[in-house]
Structure 1
């Protein structure tokens, strides 16, 4: 049952009450419905918030009722869940309607050429509670608005990408389920970002039951130039064989693979194996979360294709920062930049 249907059910129950003492309450709810035509969940939420603010004596009244053994029946758990869902729908809807999100880009360096070859787009939300991006996306998914928020983020990133150099690819985070949404191919008809500059970075592993649908949905877009990135942190059973079959354009590996690779022989051997694998299947290997000059040096020597991390560049919403990344750096220039950073304490990378 959708949240909107649930909202209508709660509203109908309130308005059907014939108790004269509740006439003012019912009128307030009716007024909210008039002010929010076609959006019952918002009308109900505003009604609930108004009721909470205006009834200053609610707690005292309930305590008196308990003493008189007139305690009203507890709110059924399913109603409480419905109200929580309605609040979430309202929050996410407000976010989408007011476009309260920005795009930060983080540079991705080609390690051999020591120049920026692309960026990863990361969402930043304008909110009073300062919630992290992953919490917003999780809340949106929980109330069936995950794809809506993802497509809004994709559109925001495409607009921001106008300020990037045209030779850079743009990696956009998306869930495999949203790749099945018919709005995905339509998106490329309306944004200015050419499809051959877009890399869709999958934020989750592909479910077994979705795999065939996923291939059927993305292959026509890949034929037009779209590229796919797989993050190893979202791997699961059978993921390696499926990855070989999918032949992603990029494989991204994180700290679990590259951390301390300059000192740990096992980590170094693992990274070397991934270099061999990706060379065999024609995939670009990207190391995420590079934090030290020592790690960067060994990863470059091993033949890792590309890298990103705080050592190379932090995520930024400032176009002037993007412009500095877009400048091709000669070897000596990058070496000087890294030498300057080598003395500072490495910082943990943001969650992507």
Structure 2
């Protein structure tokens, strides 16, 4: 019996935006910007992260609870389905110079067959979205009990297929150094709690500047997550301007998004001339304070 394609769960609206159904659950993509401040003080969109938003009968389900509500046998399918959603929706932005980070539960894909199948699904979704695999980073989130030696083949095969690899919660421990060596990530997210403690004084910031520079020399793009205050942006400047992500810079937006308006494409003079006082969000969301994009970030 032929296994049904997970893509049969996908639906498109009249504008091409993609959502999915799994049983009673509606799955949607929320895309959050990851930015870098240029030497001119302009925030540029370097990457986005795809985050799932689930609901049942119109009631929102916290992302951390979604997989606990799904049958264990269905979790790999739903995990894969979410990535396909994010890839297809990110492709609608038409930003060929932008990288998409997609989350994962890598412990769900450990056998050679499961790894090959998941990479094939991602390759198919990338083709449909018009995105090169080299613009899609699979974030390997290590959880308690995960076997690093079992995750390494997944990272290797992703690289061989042309995809990128990202890791999270990096805090420069001995184990993290082993992760760097075994997984060879292209993107790295610092652990936000460790970051806050480590950069609390001038010596820590100076050492972080060395760490950021070393990572970038090795071709690894460091990301500072959970940026929620202007003081954190100041620290990032002192550290050598790694990539930044957080509510101060932009909340996740359920597609369709305003990211192309919030962060105009390079050379788009018509949009660049439009002052943007804050990131545009759907009216149903709570207002927030944010910097002016396309202008100097004071």
Task: Give yes or no for TM over 0.5.
Answer: yes
Distance 2:37 2:228 in 1: 14
Alignment of 1:232-251 (within 5 A): 232=169, 238-251=175-188
Q: Residue 249 of structure 2 aligns with which residue?
A: 312
Counterpart of 1:151 (choices 58, 74, 80) is: 80
Q: Partners of 1:98 and 1:196 in 2: how far apart?
A: 34
Greater share of strand: 2
**Structure 2 residue 108 is the aligned partner of structure 1 residue 172:** no
1:196–1:227 CA contact under 8 A, matched in 2: yes
1 CA distance for matches of 2:274 and 2:230? 14
For residues 161 and 289 of structure 1, the distance between their equivalents in structure 2, rounded to whole angstroms, comes to 22
> Match for residue 126 of structure 1?
55
Shift of 1:161: 1.5
User: What is residue 9 of structure 2 aligned with on the other side?
Assistant: none
Higher relative contact order (CA 8 A, sep 6+): 2
Unaligned runs of 5+ in 2: 1-19, 280-288, 292-298
2:36 equivalent among 107, 110, 124 = 110
Contact residue 125 and residue 132 of structure 1 kept, 8 A: yes
**Count of residue correspondences:** 247
Question: What does the per-residue CA deviation read over 1:85-130, in whole Å, with 9 as the maximum and x for residues that have no partner?
Answer: xxxxxxxxx9514661000000011233630011000000022453
1:184 aligns with 2:124: no
Q: Secondary structure at the match of 1:238?
A: helix
Q: Which moved more, 1:298-307 or 1:150-159?
A: 298-307
Rg larger for = 1
Superposed CA deviations along residues 60-88 of structure 1, whole A, max 9, x for unmatched, are xxxxxxxxxxxxxxxxxxxxxxxxxxxxx
Q: Would you say 1:256 and 2:193 are equivalent positions?
A: yes
Q: Sort the Cα spacing of 1:308 and 1:209 in 2 relative to 1 into closer, same or farther, 3 A.
A: closer
- Which has the higher mean CA deviation after the structures are superposed, 268-277 or 314-323? 268-277
Q: Structure 1-normalised TM-score? A: 0.60
